[in-house]
Each structure stands twice: as C-alpha cells, then as structure tokens.
Amino acid sequence: MPTTLAHRQFRSAFCALILLCLSALSSFAAATPTLYAILSGNIVSFKPDAPGTLLTNRPDVGTSDSARAIEIDPTTGHLYAMYQTSATSYGLRRINLSTGYVSDLSLFGTLTTTSAAAGVGVGLAYDPLAHGLRVITAAGDNFLISLATAQPSFYFSPPAYITGDTGFGITPYIEHIAYTNAIPSPSTTTLYGIDTQRNVLVRVGTAGSPYSTQAYTVSTFALGINPTDYGGFVIDPATNRAYAAMTVDGAPRLYEVNLVTGVAIFLGQIGTSATARVEGLAAAPGVNHCLDIDGDGEILAHRDGLMLTRIALGMTGSAVLANAIPTFNPPPRTTWAAIRTHLVDRCGMTITP
C-alpha cells in the first residue's frame, strides 16, 4: 500500500509539473513583433500596434553613409543593412542593436541604379531556404548574398511580369521585398515585393517557388498609397502579417499590407516627427524557434509543449508526434526527421534518431 500511494503521489506531482510547463509555454505564443527601421539616420524600434512610441532610438555609429535597406537574420538576431557608399556602390554591414555600432562586411561594386527613373531603391530580405540575403533593386539587380562570406553567391535575371499579367510589358521597379515563413528551415516560402512605379504588391516567382524571376501582380487593387524609394517592407515570421514603412506626404508611416488583396492599411506615424525619413524595415523574431517545435511561428502547449515534454522524457519518432500534429492546415515540420534535424542543427540538442 505505501508503494502504491507513493506511485500515485509521484504521478500526480509529475502531471502537475508537466501542466505547469505547458501553461508556461503557452504564454510565448505569437507575440507582437518588434519592428526596426532607420529613421533620419537613427536605428529605432517600435511595435506595429503603437508605431508612434519608439522603444529604442540610437544613432548608427561608425559611418556617414546612408542605410537604404535592413533585415534581421532570425537564426542569430543580427541586423544587416545595405548602405549606399556612393552613387553606384553599396556596402553590406552589420549593426549592433545594443550600441548602434556599424561593422563593415563587404562592398559591392556598381549596381545598375544610376538612371533617374530607377532611383536608388534597394530591397533586402532574409531567404530562409538559402540562409542568405536576397537583394533586388529598382533597376533589376537580383542576387543572393551568402551570410557565410558576405558576398554574392548567385545571380538571377531581372524580374519581369509574365504574359497575361496586368503589368506585362512594363518594367518592374521592385524596391522593397520580403519572404513569408522567414524562419529556419521552413517547408516553403514565397517572395513578395512592392513595385513603386505601379504602386502595387507583386510576387516574385510562384507561390512557394521564390527563385523564378517571373513577377506577378498580386491583385487588381493598388496599394492605396504612393510608395517611394525610401521605406521598407517586412513579413512577420511568426504570423506572416506584412508591414510596410513608407515616407508618404513627407511623413514616416507604417502600414499593414494584405498579401491577398494587395491593399495597404494605415497603422500610424512612426515616431513623433512628421518630417523624418524612414529607411528599411525589419522584424525581430517574435518567438523562440527552439521552443516552436513544429515551426508554425507559435508556441502552443498542446502541440509544441507536448512534443517537447515527450522528447525530454526520451521518446522519439511517432511517439513524439502522436496527437500533436494537426492534419488540417499542417505546420511546416510534420515529421520526426524534420523536427529532430531542426532541434539538432539549429538548437544544438543531442537527440537519438
């Protein structure tokens, strides 16, 4: 009898501990992202639901050049920026978010952004499949930068609207770009951009295939704003909600962009100055990807928490996945092999196959 009672007490305590852990994990779910931008030369951060309240506001230290685009590597949290060093040259640099100090990484030669019509617009986005930075300019430059070497690793042809598209025959001026599912090792990702001459949202490549150079107008609706070379575009990796920072009527403004209709909805002015110029936009990871077991951008107790608990108890394979992976609208990682690879390669865990 004492042994049976002890076992019951142990089971009760263990179940209580698991429930406590799962409840704690649920508090991490889908937090509002922190957005970063360059505002009149300062690195600022804010929440999309309160863009007028700056959480941080620091000058970029160590350079007199102008940042034209920024992006965050979600695997490291590093903030990268493309700085214009001359009329035809750009440098990739890394910015320390704590100090604002700018570190040189590489210098790119002449980009074809010298014509007046093309302007100097540069789009920069983290490519989650290649673990690199995609660059597209208003004049058609289109290449991938390796984060290992900080140098171009692959060149694409300039984007072009496909036959039958409402933009067919018109040269795209895509200056602001962003990927969906910009998390480590996603099963699929799609590249979007803003054509600042047509004032429309476009997709580069087909859905889930961002390496085609074919451009597609997302819908027949215009953005509803007149975007300029100055600004930025980002898609929150946790929710796939898209945000655009644009200088409109001389003021820095934040918009949410509907990826289905292509319409921009005004959220508010960024900061308090109505004359500040905004450059670039990036989103800090909203969740801990090592706790986001299935990779859907949310940390849920009944899915991620359940699988994490099973892994901690030494379970593997289908025993980890049982009743934790939905069949309707499945997450990016649905197999034990994909989950184990993610936890081993990205999170440094040691797990038996």
CATH assignment of the domain containing 101:
2.120.10
Is the CB of residue 156 less than 8 Å from the CB of residue 143? yes
Per-residue pLDDT for 2 more than 60?
no
Distance CA 247, CA 79 (A): 22
Is 51 in a helix, a strand, or coil?
coil
pTM exceeds 0.75, yes or no? no
**Calpha distance 130→149 (Å, rounded):** 13
Domain endpoint, select from 257, 283, 309: 283
Looking at the structure, tell me whether residues 295 and 231 fall in a common domain.
no
Same structural domain, 186 and 334? no
Count how many domains the chain has.
2
Selection from 88, 83, 81, 66 nearest residue 133 by Cα: 81
334, pLDDT greater than 50: yes
Q: Given a cut of 80, is residue 200 above it in pLDDT? A: yes
Residue 169 lies in a domain: yes
Residues 161, 45 share a domain: yes
In a domain, 230, yes or no: yes
- The pLDDT of residue 210 is 81
Which of 242, 288, 282 lies closest to 35 in space, CA to CA? 282
Q: At 159, list the tokens.
A: 């984007």
Q: What is the pLDDT of residues 103-139, one digit of tens each?
A: 877 766 655 443 333 345 789 999 999 999 999 988 8
Same domain for 109 and 62, yes or no, is: yes
Residues 169 and 305 in one domain: no
Phi-psi region of 53 (alpha: psi -120 to 50; beta: other; left: phi over 0): beta
pLDDT at 159 over 80: yes
88 and 209 co-located in one domain: yes
Coil, helix or strand at residue 330: coil
Q: What is the DSSP string of 219-266?
A: -SS--SS---SSEEEEE-TTT--EEEEEEETTEEEEEEE-TTT--EEE
Query: Is 29 contained in some domain?
Result: no
Single residue among 283, 311, 342 that ends a domain in this structure: 283
Phi, psi of 294 (to 5 degrees): -90, -5
Q: Based on the domain organization, do 278 and 296 belong to the same domain?
A: no
Q: Domain for residue 12, yes or no?
A: no
- What average pLDDT does this structure show over 180-203? 92
pLDDT at residue 120, rounded to an integer = 57
The reply to whether 18 falls in a domain is no
Residues 273 and 332 in one domain: no
Domain end marker among 283, 303, 333: 283
* Range 236-253 average pLDDT: 92
- Min mean pLDDT across 10-19, 231-240, 242-251, 283-292 is at 10-19
Check whether residue 115 and residue 218 sit in a common domain.
yes
Residues 292, 164 share a domain: no
* 21 located within any domain: no
Residues spanned by the domain of 353: 288-353
Asked whether residue 122 is assigned to any structural domain, the reply reads yes
Closest CA to 279 of 70, 64, 49, 59: 70
Q: Give me the helices (H) in the chain, please.
A: 2-26, 306-312, 318-321, 336-345
What is the DSSP-derived secondary structure letter of residue 177?
Answer: E
Q: Are residues 312 and 196 in the same domain?
A: no
**Three-state DSSP class for 46?**
strand
Same domain, yes or no: 163 and 56: yes
Q: What percent of the chain has pLDDT over 90?
A: 45
221: in domain: yes
